[in-house]
Amino acid sequence: MAEKKSCMKEFTKGLLRENPTMRLVLGTCPTLAVTTSVVNAIGMGLAATVVLICSNVAISALRKVIPSKVRIPAYIVIIASFVTIVQMIVKAFLPVLDESLGIFLPLIVVNCIILGRAEAFASKNPVLLSAADGLGMGLGFTAALFCMGAVREILGAGTFLAGIKDLVNIGGFNGFDFSDTLANIGLAPITIFILPAGGFFFFGIIMALTNKIASGKGLPKAELHGCEHCPMAASCSRSTLKEDAQ
Amino acid sequence: MSDTNKILTVSASPHVKSNDTTQRIMLDVVLALVPAGIAGCVIFGMRALLVIALCIGFSVLFEFLSRKIMKRSNTLGDLSAVVTGLLLAYNIPVLDLAKFDGKLWKATVMTVLLCAVGSFFAIVVTKQFFGGLGQNFANPAIVGRIVLLVSFPSAMTAFTAPRQAVDAITTATPLGILSDGSLFDRAGDISAQISSLSADGYLPDLLSMLVGVKGGCIGEVSGILLILGGCYLLMRRVISPAIHVAFVGTVAVFMLIASRGSLPFVAYEILGGGLLLGAIFMATDYTTSPITLKGKIIFGIGCGIVCSVIRLFCSMAEGVSYAILLMNIACPLIEMATKPRPFGVEKEKKAKKEEKTA
């Protein structure tokens, strides 16, 4: 019973309190790059979630076997295998999605969320907890991508869920398209939102909002360890500067 | 002795204060900008006035709302939002009806969207998100213009022809014609080509360029009135001449070299587009330009180089706003490099050398 409760806790923390993109600021590269449309965002989020659950389970199961000195290469090998599997499945069944995600699908290998959870959680916790953690983090990532994708697609392209038919076929429904309606009254979508500049600016706003909501609920700030915990501390200029000052 | 009864204030420096307030400075800028705006309204008709009113209205509204929502003090009184709105309006063209099926209401709806989006990015994103007046990383109106230019490329280049030109409805700006006409590819003297273009009626003559009877954004067309406004600001000592003289001078030198010494080409490049508006009113923004004279000159020359390179080598006809934005971002670096040496303190290098010899 005790384990089940904490399983739930590990699952829910990824949704808001430790949301990977909004609170831990991990995996920002795919967040900015693929959120130009909702369909891309969902596809990316789900692919990353699958990889995250599988790699968390595998790494957690092998945590006592992997020597700590070579753990990062070992993690990368495990993660890369799952990414390859996911990539092949997407290529086979959702070729359009594969084309629009492009390089960002194989790049899930180096996504900091996955390596970060492996290092910070799966390598120290039992299998079931790690699976719950992976699922929560993955869904949190997907939700964040969905929010960004929805706003950027509606404002920047004048469509919503465009191309959903390639992801799932719901009675031939292929998303909403407002651009013709807009053109009829002389308007045009605000293109900057689907460009990188708009992505950065909107990412900043949504991150601030999430922090505001989280702190309004009395949730503690995402825990950040000091410089001494950082593996780069020996060569980092900030920590050496601090030493000099002392 | 009555003096001994006076309460004397003991305080740290500065002891000498001027009577300038933010409000007074902003009012001066508004006054300096008004003539060019009137010229815009005369040249493009009353729809120009609508753009100006909308931009100022939206800017003031967004300033008020964002300060209110962020629970900060109300800053409408310092007039900075009015200046931003005015500058933004001067950077928007009166939309050409031909691009909107000739329907006035469609063009008006688009105008409202342009003004609202531009003001939002200028006031809320560039200024208030970074902490308000004095904290913005770039000139708000410049960011507003660039966002509009990137978002609505077709609307932002739908220039109406001036009312005085009878035969044309849609028009390209003189800069567009000059950069479009592959002037440098054709054989023959550039000055001669320009005068033949102007004789055929493709290019306005130099007098119309100076007065402002040409295609372009509302506030940028009337060169002479912008210069007049600049002179007023110089006289009131609101701005110092370093930045805009360096900016325009650098562009002039570049264009003179590029056109192999054609003075008419240089004149068209200086009077065309937003160079005068940008150099006099936007590059000289206090928050986003260096403090020292040396820094100001570097800043102006940098603006001039970026602007000339964009105008000469890029597919865009105009590069003033990008030039100012880039140099705005480089401004902290310029400040660092041109930090003045306090009196009596030796230069670091020199001090190190002496250390070595000793």
CATH of region B22-335, choose from 1.20.1070, 3.40.50, 1.10.3720, 1.10.3430: 1.10.3430
Q: Helix, strand, or coil here: A35?
A: coil
Å between B119 CA and nearest CA of chain A = 14
Question: Which among B113, B125, B155 has CB closest to A201?
Answer: B125
Q: Which two tokens stand for residue B243?
A: 């930045």
Structure tokens, B44: 């493009």
B152–A186 C-beta distance less than 8 A: no
When pLDDT is averaged across residues B148-159 and rounded to a whole number, the result is 86
A204 in B contact zone (CB under 8 Å): yes
**Single-letter residue type at A116:** G
Distances (CA, A) of B48 to A215, B111, B155, B166, B221: 46, 10, 15, 19, 12
Buried b (16+ CB within 10 A) or exposed e, B260-280: eebebbbbbbbbbbbbbbbbb
Query: Is B109–A185 a contact, with Cβ atoms under 8 angstroms apart?
Result: yes
- Best to test chain B binding among A179, A184, A187 (most B CBs inside 10 Å): A187
pLDDT at B168: 46
Amino acid at B145: R
Q: A66 and chain B: CB distance < 8 Å anywhere?
A: no
Instruction: Kindly report the average pLDDT of chain B as a whole number.
Output: 85
pLDDT digit string (tens) for chain A, length 246 residues? 344 557 888 888 878 777 888 888 888 888 888 888 899 899 999 999 999 999 999 999 998 999 988 988 999 999 999 999 999 999 998 888 888 888 888 888 888 889 888 888 888 889 999 999 999 999 999 999 999 999 999 998 888 888 777 777 777 777 788 878 887 777 888 888 989 888 998 999 888 888 888 777 765 555 555 555 555 555 555 555 555 554
pLDDT at position B166 is: 45
pLDDT at B133: 86
| Interatomic CA distance for residues B56 and B53, integer angstroms | 5
Does B152 contact A at CB distance below 8 Å? yes
What is the helix (H) or strand (E) element at residue A227, kind and residue range?
none
Mean pLDDT calculated for residue range B319-341: 91
Domain positions in chain B are: 22-335
Mean pLDDT, chain A, as a whole number?
Answer: 83
The pLDDT of residue B167 is 45
- What is the structure's pLDDT at B28? 92
The pLDDT tens digits for B269-292 are: 888 888 999 999 999 988 899 999
Q: Each residue of B15-66: pLDDT tens digit?
A: 777 777 888 899 999 999 999 999 989 888 888 999 999 999 999 999 999 9
- Partner residues linked to B95 by β-bridges: B159
User: Residues B60-81, buried b or exposed e (16+ Cβ, 10 A)?
Assistant: bbbbeebbeeeeeeebeebbbb
Is it the case that residue B347 has pLDDT exceeding 70? no
Tally A–B CB contacts below 8 A. Answer: 35
ipTM of the complex: 0.78
Cα angle B100, B90, B215 (rounded to 5 degrees) comes to: 55
Nearest residue of A to residue B149, measured between CA atoms: A192
DSSP letters along B20-31, please?
--HHHHHHHHHH
> B152 and A188: CB-CB below 8 Å?
yes
Contact list, B117 vs chain A (CB under 8 Å): 190
Question: What per-residue confidence (pLDDT) applies to B21?
Answer: 84
Per-residue pLDDT tens digits for A18-27:
788 888 888 8
Q: Looking at residue A212, what is its pLDDT?
A: 83
**Mean local confidence (pLDDT), B113-127:** 93
Phi, psi of B159 (to 5 degrees): -75, 135
Backbone angles phi, psi at B218, to 5 degrees: -60, -50
Q: How many residues does chain B have?
A: 358
Using the structure block, give the residue that is written with the tokens 């950077």. Answer: B91
User: Which chain A residue lies closest to B70 (C-alpha atoms)?
Assistant: A212
Interchain CB contact of B322 with A (< 8 Å): no
Q: Tens digit of pLDDT for each residue in B189-235?
A: 777 777 777 777 777 888 888 888 888 888 888 889 999 999 999 99
Tell me the nearest-neighbour CA distance from A202 into chain B, angstroms.
10
> Looking at beta carbons, which residues of chain A come within 8 Å of B105?
186
Residue B31 has what pLDDT?
93
* B143, pLDDT greater than 90: yes
Candidates A155, A182, A192: best to mutate against B (most CBs of B within 10 A) is A192
Which among B110, B125, B153 is the nearest to A186, CB-wise? B110
Helix (H, G, I), strand (E, B) or coil at B230: helix
Pairwise CA distance, residues A139 & B186, whole Å: 61
Determine the residue type at A16. L
Looking at the complex, does the CB of residue A191 fall below 8 Å from at least one CB of chain B?
yes
Neighboring chain A residues of B155 at a CB cutoff of 8 Å: 188
Q: Considering only CB atoms, which chain A residues are within 8 Å of B107?
A: 186
- Cβ contact (<8 Å) for B103 and A186? yes
Angstroms from A187 CA to nearest CA on chain B: 5
> CA-to-CA distance for A205 and A209, rounded, in angstroms?
6
Give pLDDT, residue A220: 57
Instruction: Please state, in angstroms and rounded to a whole number, the distance separating the CA atoms of residues A135 and A121.
Output: 13
pLDDT at B114: 92
Q: How many CB atoms lie within 10 A of CB A140?
A: 27
Of A186, A190, A205, the CB nearest to B100: A186
B96 within 8 A of B172, measured Cβ to Cβ: no
Task: Give pLDDT, residue B301.
Answer: 95
The residue ranges of every structural domain in chain A are: 2-245
> How high is the pLDDT of residue A162?
81
Contacts with A194 from chain B: Cβ below 8 Å: none
Residue with tokens 């070729």: A95
What span, in angstroms and rounded, lies between the C-alpha atoms of A162 and A153?
Answer: 9
